[in-house]
Structures are given as structure tokens and as C-alpha cells.
Amino acid sequence: MAIGSGGAAAALAVLLLTGCTPSSPEPSGSPKPSASSSASAAPKLDPTGDADDNKAYFDAVNTKLVAAGGDLGGRTFIDTLVKAGFDKAAMEVTSDTTAVGLKADNIQFSVKLGTTCLIGQYGNIGYHSTTAAAMDTGKCLIGNTRAIDW
């Protein structure tokens, strides 16, 4: 009985070790993307697209701004989005200060694209974004917003 189980154990060991030996050489490291695939992967503004079509670009612009640091108030986000090609007239932004003059914990900003909205939020919770349908009022943000008159 010991011989039979020893033979079975040896056969099992051979099978397990055979499974560990590659039948053909494996490439080392991970594949490197070509220059053309990297360039095509960068998000771009789609002026005829809706919010879902442009969310990756919106996020890329805003996360780059956040990573750069500095004064990250509403005007900075709006100006950066304008430089990135978004239409200033289609934007909304909340106030940087509270009703009693304190710095707001978070600010929201949006870009309306057709009947859809790109909505960003930045503050003590970091940067977050979403897309949504515009409200029946035609606006993207609920509540008070400030004029973008600069």
C-alpha cells in the first residue's frame, strides 16, 4: 500500500511540475504601448458630443489642475475649462464662500452640453465628477450659483 501511494504521489508531483514549465517562452515584462496607441488614448474634447462623451476629457483637465495645486477656487476651474475648449457660456459655478463669508468646504462647477451636464466638485473631499441630464430649468446645478462675468 505504501508503494502504491508513493507512486501516485510521484505521478502527481510530475504532473504539477509539468504544469509549471511553459511550453513556449513567455515574454518578459508587460507589453509597452506604441506611441500611436498612447497618443490615441489621450482624451480629447468632442464639441458635438454629450456629457458622457466628454467626461474623460473633463476629468483629465480637472485632475491635472488639482495635481498642480495652488488656488483652486471656482474661477480657476472655470478658466482652466475654458482654456481646454469648453464653452464658458454653458458653465455654472457655486460660490467659493459661505453665507457668513467663510471658505466653502466644496465648490461645484458644471458644463452643459446639449441636454446633458458634466458636473465637478472639489474641496475637502477631493475631486469628484459625474454626468447627468440637465434639469427642467435648463440648469445643471441645484441652488445658488454665481455669475461667471469675468
The Cα 129–Cα 62 span in angstroms is 9
The Cα 50–Cα 61 span in angstroms is 17
pLDDT range class, residue 119, cuts 50, 70, 90: very high
Q: Using one digit for the tens of pLDDT, what is the confidence trace for 18-59?
A: 444 444 444 445 445 544 455 568 999 999 999 999 999 999
Name which of 10-14, 57-61, 143-147 the model is least confident about. 10-14
Q: Confirm whether 144 is domain-assigned.
A: no
* pLDDT at site 16: 38
* pLDDT at site 39: 55
Q: Confirm whether 6 is domain-assigned.
A: no
Q: Say which residues have a Cβ less than 8 Å from residue 118's Cβ, sequence separation at least 6.
A: 51, 54, 55, 58, 110, 111, 129, 131, 140
Q: Confirm whether 76 is domain-assigned.
A: yes
Pick from 112, 102, 103, 97: which is nearest to 144 by CA? 97
Q: Confirm whether 68 is domain-assigned.
A: yes
Domain that holds residue 51: 43-133
Q: Confirm whether 66 is domain-assigned.
A: yes
The Cα 40–Cα 30 span in angstroms is 20
Q: Confirm whether 10 is domain-assigned.
A: no
Could you tell me the CA-to-CA distances from 33 to 41, 42, 57, 60 in Å, in that order?
10, 13, 20, 20
Domains: count for the chain = 1
What pTM does this model have? 0.73
| Range with the largest mean pLDDT of 6-10, 25-29, 66-70 | 66-70
More confident: 67 or 24: 67
Q: Confirm whether 148 is domain-assigned.
A: no
The Cα 52–Cα 120 span in angstroms is 13
